[in-house]
Amino acid sequence: MKSTFQVLSFFLLSILFFSCENDDDALPSEAIESRTVSNVPAPQTGGPPSEDPVGGPFTKFSFATATVTTSDTEWDIAFRGTTIAINGGVPTGTNDEPVRNGEAAAAIATGTFPSVTDANDLSFIQDSENGFAIPVGSDNGWYNYNPQVNVIAPIPGKVLVIKTHDGKFAKMEILSYYKDAPAQPDGFVNESRFYTFQYVYNPNEGQTAFE
Amino acid sequence: MLKNLLGMNLNNLLAIAFTSVFTSVIFGQEHIDLKDSVLIQDLDEVIVTATRTVRQLSSVPLPVTLISKEQLRNTGVIRLNEILNEQTGIITVADESGFDGVQIQGIAADYILILINGVPLVGRSAGNFDLSRLTVGNIEQIEIVKGPSSSLYGSEALGGVINIITEHPKDDKIHGDASYRFASFNTHDINVGVDQRIKKFGYSFFANSLYSDGYDLFPEVVGQTVPEFNNHTFNGQVFYDFSKNMKLFASGRYYRQDQDINLLIDEELFEGSSDIKESNMQLRLDHHVGNELALQYELYYTNYMATEFLQSPVTDALFSESDFDQYLLRPEIRATYTIKPKHDLTVGVGFNQERLDRTFFDEEVRFDSEYAFVQYDFYPLKKVNLILGARYDNHSAYRSQFSPKASTHWKISDVVSVKGSVGYGFKAPDFRQLYFDFTNSAVGYTVLGYNVAVDKVLELEAQGQLLDILFDLEELGEPLEAESSIGYNLGASYTKGKVRLNLNLFRNDFQNLIDTRAIARQINGQNVFSYANFDEIYTTGLELDIHYKVSDRLTLSGGYQLLYAKDKQKRVALERGEVFARDPRTLQTVVLDNSDYFGLVNRSRHTANTKIFYNIPEWDVHMNLRVNYRSRYGLFDSNGNDILDTFDTTFVNGYALVNLALNKTFSDTYTLQLGANNLFDYRDADNIPGLAGIQLFTRIGVNF
């Protein structure tokens, strides 16, 4: 009963609001979500040192639900080894890629995580036959590989800004590629292909701001 | 295990022997001779490397270091790297490739030229010249000129020149010396030398053999840190004076090292060998025409061959095999014309032919270059010396280079003098940077030499191996530039009575440094790298040397270098707030600024040395204690932002090594030496595998 009243009053207030100011920006908005996700597994088959081509299914993730998902449609980004696919565009041509059926796109911003406050001025690209929107390879996209210590480290200052499969915006910073995000991963000991990342997700349609 | 035990017992034995002799010397000395004669500094020291003419050391307008035969003998070192490490501002370090090389004024080994009797030695590993290849057994003097010297020597002489002068026969008696040195790790070093000058004819022969069991800093891991090795050096020299004005010098040198190596990969052991053969032949004719003109005709040939293979002892499957075969041929003519006393004009012309055939090259490659240089060494004022010089190198594979240099020395008084120099130095792109074709089978990346990159990338593209090409390939058609630097040195010296003091401020500005960058991306997610000119760095600091001859018996010396070595572009990026690091505790990213920037890898801010030399003439005893210190330095970037910063975890702690040697001569003929290198057994196995623990040694020698 009480909750019904709340919903009702909410509606009433909204109508009031609407009638007073005819401005889209003033839409009552859902809260911006800020989360950290740990140990998203990203297994892969093949790739060096084996001669086999890289393969295996990607681990799909949804910002809206903050979970790993097996849905073929309701996912935003997906992980396999150091490769990150997005649910937008077309497969790049590697084995076992998921079908893209959303409108996801990605941009890489430079700065500390809090300093990226809006997705407005960024140019977004989608996965395509020319490659992943988040480029693969050391120092090309999100990570640096140090062969001396055999460690894959997220490049500090790289913030991935993602347009989700349904057109919302999120910014994410990968914190670790190793299980349980050790402060100083040992490339020969710690288990890799486990993503820990923080992200900020704006669930409101058409809004690009992250604060 | 047995070997370890034996080694330990040997160490103990040597330690006991050493301690007893040492204490008997210290405590046996009951009367102190207070006869303190007027101390005469070594005024007759001369150097040839700075100007390619014989110059008195104290008047040379460049920062130079001389290492005498006496110092080599008394310190008991056997290899060139050991003695260089004890000089101010000179250290040997292992770079990212793991190979050791020499660093001068913070400048890496790639940019330091190594000469023997004025001609260059070749055979480098990833740019590093392994100075432990060179025995000090027949060295008369080592001359080091710091700062760019390309105006005389051309390529590679950016950071400095190290010139080894071998011994010459002195008189008509047969002089011979033989020595045997036994040291920790079952190390045996044997030297035999003989020389004589009979009127117009002179000769010298020298042989050295060095054997060691090597050492193992990680006994729990299969294989040794430094495996057993054995090397031999032979050097023969012939001198013949056709007349007073026409003198011939011919030298042949041969070096060979054999080493068994092994490597453990994924619990599979591979065994193999690593062998080096090097030969040098030098022919020089000195021709004096009257008193004014001195001509030198020189022909030089050197060859360096390294072969290495690893295979499985079980299956005989080959794991890796590599060959390296480099040679250099160089005729050169030099002329020095003395216009009037102390006004010398030197000109030289020459030709270099270099060839290299190695694994990861498609075919043998060849460089040709012609060069000419000129130098005018004169006194515009009575006490002011000015040297102006320049060299022009015309090269088959890169843009020609013009290398000028000016230096001056002003003797203000008998006590104080100042000197300064400005010079240009360059290093030609090396064979590897131009012709390499290497794919790492474990990770899958590819490295291509600049000159073969375009063709190889197109080949990979045609094979469907590439995702995309990151650069306009036409842009890569422009030839790679030589790396270059401008070096500034400003120094002052003070010599009075027992004290000698030298101060030098230096700055070296490098541009067009060659480094790798990704030029294409492969479908396996890895990059295709090639070389490009893009880094700009500087090294700057000061060097201070103090030499104090307390008495006839006691001499103290100290040296210090302050060094800042940084990347200019990184400084700009830091200034703009574009460089970040992840705080390892919170995993959050923070912005770095220049105060967080440590500088280039492998550079210590402070290096210092202290030496005490003590003579007891009445007992024919000489002892010395040398301490060498280097402060903290970083090995490589560990947090993905491509700079060494305060969050990196790859710093090596500063350390000091203490070396001690004790010499006793018997009836001018026999010498006994005892000593210890790394006396306090300092080790840092994880970071400095090249640093063995304490090495005790004893040496017996005979001169006749």
Q: Is the pLDDT of residue A210 over 80?
A: yes
Q: Give the Cα separation of B417 and B302 in Å (integer).
A: 40
Q: In a mutagenesis test of the B interface, which of A34, A79, A112, A198 is the best target, namely the one with the most B β-carbons within 10 Å?
A: A112
Judged by CB atoms within 8 Å, which residues 56-115 of A form the interface with B?
81-83, 92-94, 110-113
Q: Is the pLDDT of residue B33 over 50?
A: no
> Tell me: the pLDDT tens digits for B650-686?
899 999 999 999 999 998 899 999 999 999 999 999 8
**Secondary structure of B206-229 as H, E, C letters:** EEEEEEECCECCCCCCCCCCECCE
Task: Grade residue B28 by pLDDT with cuts at 50, 70 and 90.
Answer: very low
8-state DSSP, A89: B
Q: What percent of chain A has pLDDT over 70?
A: 86
Question: With an 8 Å Cβ cutoff, are B639 and A82 in contact?
Answer: no
A127 near B CB under 8 A: no
Which of B518, B580, B636 lies nearest to residue A140, judging by beta carbons?
B518
pLDDT value, residue B666: 93
Which of B96, B526, B636 lies nearest to residue A137, judging by beta carbons?
B526
Q: Do B102 and B112 form a contact (C-beta atoms < 8 A)?
A: yes
The count of C-alpha atoms lying within 13 angstroms of the C-alpha of B228, restricted to the half-sphere facing its C-beta, is: 5
Average pLDDT, chain B: 89
Task: Grade residue B453 by pLDDT with cuts at 50, 70 and 90.
Answer: very high
Q: Is the pLDDT of residue B79 over 90?
A: yes
Q: Do B514 and B429 form a contact (C-beta atoms < 8 A)?
A: yes
Residues of B in contact with A156 (CB under 8 A): 580-582, 589-590, 639-641
Q: Closest approach of chain A CAs to the CA of B466, in angstroms?
A: 10
Q: Give the Cα separation of B537 and B113 in Å (integer).
A: 19
> Tell me: the pLDDT tens digits for B390-428?
999 998 877 889 999 999 999 999 999 999 999 999 999
Question: With an 8 Å Cβ cutoff, are A83 and B525 in contact?
Answer: yes
Q: Is the pLDDT of residue B130 over 90?
A: yes
Q: Is the pLDDT of residue B556 over 50?
A: yes
Q: Is the pLDDT of residue B8 over 60?
A: no
Question: With an 8 Å Cβ cutoff, are A47 and B525 in contact?
Answer: yes
Question: With an 8 Å Cβ cutoff, are A153 and B591 in contact?
Answer: no
Q: Give the Cα separation of A198 and B322 in Å (integer).
A: 47
Q: What percent of chain B has pLDDT over 70?
A: 94
Q: Do B698 and B674 form a contact (C-beta atoms < 8 A)?
A: yes
* B4 C-beta neighbours (distance < 10 Å), count: 11
Q: Do A100 and A89 form a contact (C-beta atoms < 8 A)?
A: yes
Which of B589, B636, B641 lies nearest to residue A173, judging by beta carbons?
B589
pLDDT value, residue A27: 55
- Lowest-pLDDT range, B351-365, B470-484, B545-559? B470-484
Q: Give the Cα separation of B376 and B151 in Å (integer).
A: 12
pLDDT value, residue B104: 96
pLDDT value, residue B468: 78
Averaged pLDDT for residues B355-377: 92
**Gyration radius of chain A's alpha carbons:** 19
Averaged pLDDT for residues B80-107: 92
Q: Is the pLDDT of residue A106 over 80?
A: yes
Residues of A in contact with B580 (CB under 8 A): 111-112, 156-157
Closest chain B residue to the Cα of A135, Cα to Cα = B525
Number of CB pairs < 8 Å for A and B? 100
Quick check: helix, strand or coil at residue B3? helix
Task: Grade residue B263 by pLDDT with cuts at 50, 70 and 90.
Answer: confident
pLDDT value, residue B201: 95
- Lowest-pLDDT range, B289-293, B461-465, B594-598? B461-465
pLDDT value, residue A9: 53
Judging by DSSP bridges, how do beta strands A77-80 and A67-69 pair with one another? unpaired
pLDDT value, residue B44: 65
Residues of B in contact with A83 (CB under 8 A): 525
B98 near A CB under 8 A: no
